[in-house]
Amino acid sequence: MRYPGGLMRHDRASRVVNALTAWNEHLTADDLHQKYCRMAESPFVFYRGTNHLFWADFAGDWRMNRFGSYRTRTWLQGDAHAENMGAFTSHAGDLIYGLNDFDESLLADYQYDLWRFAISLVLVARRNGGFSGKAKANIINALCDAYLDTMASLTGKIKPSNIILTTKKSSGVLRRFMKETEKGSSRKKMLKKWTTGSKDDQLFAPRPGKLDAASSWERGDILAAMPDYFETLPKKTKASQKFFKVLDIARRLSAGTGSLGTPRYYVLIRGEGSSWKDDRILDVKRQTRPSGLERLSAEEQIDYARDYQNDAHRHAVAYDALGKQPDHLMGWMRLHDGYYSVRERSPFKETFSTESLTTEDTFVEMAETWARVLASDHACAVRDLRVDGKSYSLAREVDRLTRDRRPEFLALVRDAAFEYATQVEADYAAFLAAMQPNDCESQD
């Protein structure tokens, strides 16, 4: 294995254990235990929880020069994998499918997202079982072909409204998933799940292991920050201060995998009317520097410090760039321990189950869908970027670099995906041997 720097197997195992220990040293004992138990479920879940290892291994990889240039830099999701896309509602109330996690977003070459996504598909296929080597190769080929086809189709002027993936525009297994999400979700159902009471007495419901009451000083900290948060909202947000009347605040627990243990709150606000059915839940989450940033060049890190007021501001800018229908409640606030992103919790928040992909046809179908979403987001996200003071088209540049070399491009991504998936499995084994808690079965 070439990762990292040709280390021998035992050196790699020690390095992985040390890296995991250092990366998670800020977590409480309970959060660390829960995170490690979750990561022990499979190599794919381990991969989801170790984005920092991916960036340590791939940042600056010389192979990306073959299909990259100074015009292939765009906003990345930064932690791209098959379960970091999902269904959610836009501010306009439409159910759409797309990228839904921007904690690790940053500006870098498009291939980082594509490679990381391809690796995740190999890990999912291996976990699900029943796929031959040829079938797995076909899945990665489908991902790459659809990504390049989408880029080729977007070389002209891009209208984001034309590439938003709604229920009507979806098909096959995704359309069934979207319809099930629409039937099973609503604002009323979300509020009944998380809250209790009525009118001004509406409060968060007790949910052991999921929600905990905020302390008086946490409440005071957030309430004091609300006016400044209001000032960070997009100009198109026309809601009044009454809309943002705070009814209750709770600490969100046990959410995510890589971000498990990150301080996070739910804030219940009044919404548009006087009924509890109009209430909104704001998701308030501490943001830190994305995992990949420290692995990029010194110049790119200087640009980051210059262009963003803080990490939550970067999160909001990335969301606006990558999200095809913006959340008008997206903003940020400063609390006592750092900067927090603020966004509305979608009533239709749902992730497509990768465990349901048990046939090659359905897996290929979803790989093509994921590729179209990723490519269109990447292509749209450069609209405010400049090279030498001039705007550029990522789609045209990717198409130019790959048009006559597609088999070579597919082989490159395929080789990287299979090779690194095997490395992830070895890292996972090292993690289990050295760090897996021995009482994970008792965890929820």
To which residue do tokens 């340590």 refer?
56
**Residues pairing with 108 in the sheet:** 74
pLDDT digits (tens, 9 = 90+) for 377-425: 999 999 889 998 999 999 999 999 999 999 999 999 999 999 999 999 9
The pTM score is: 0.94
Three-state secondary-structure class, residue 270: coil
**Residues pairing with 268 in the sheet:** 248, 281
pLDDT higher than threshold 60 for residue 56: yes
Best CA proximity match to 147, nearest among 430, 398, 330, 429:
398
pLDDT digits (tens, 9 = 90+) for 279-316: 999 999 999 999 999 999 999 999 999 999 999 999 99
Region 40-65 average pLDDT:
96
Region 135-161 average pLDDT:
91
Region 348-357 average pLDDT:
93
The angle that helices 172-184 and 360-380 make with each other, rounded to 10 degrees, is 80
Rounded Cα distance between 204 and 252, Å, is: 11
Supply 195's token pair: 């809250």
pLDDT higher than threshold 50 for residue 235: yes
**Cβ(313)–Cβ(266) under 8 Å?**
no
pLDDT at 236: 75
Region 352-356 average pLDDT:
95
Between the CA atoms of 123, 127, 133 and 135, what dihedral angle is there, to the nearest 10 degrees?
-90
Per-residue CA distances from 56 to 16, 60, 93, 99, 109 (Å): 11, 9, 39, 23, 15
Cis peptide before 160 (omega within 30 of 0): no
Length of the chain: 444
pLDDT at 199: 62
**Cβ(122)–Cβ(143) under 8 Å?**
no
pLDDT digits (tens, 9 = 90+) for 1-12: 445 444 445 699
pLDDT digits (tens, 9 = 90+) for 160-219: 666 789 899 999 999 999 999 999 888 889 999 999 986 667 899 989 999 999 999 999
pLDDT digits (tens, 9 = 90+) for 10-20: 699 999 999 99
Q: How much is the mean pLDDT over the chain? A: 91
Best CA proximity match to 406, nearest among 143, 76, 70:
143
pLDDT at 144: 98
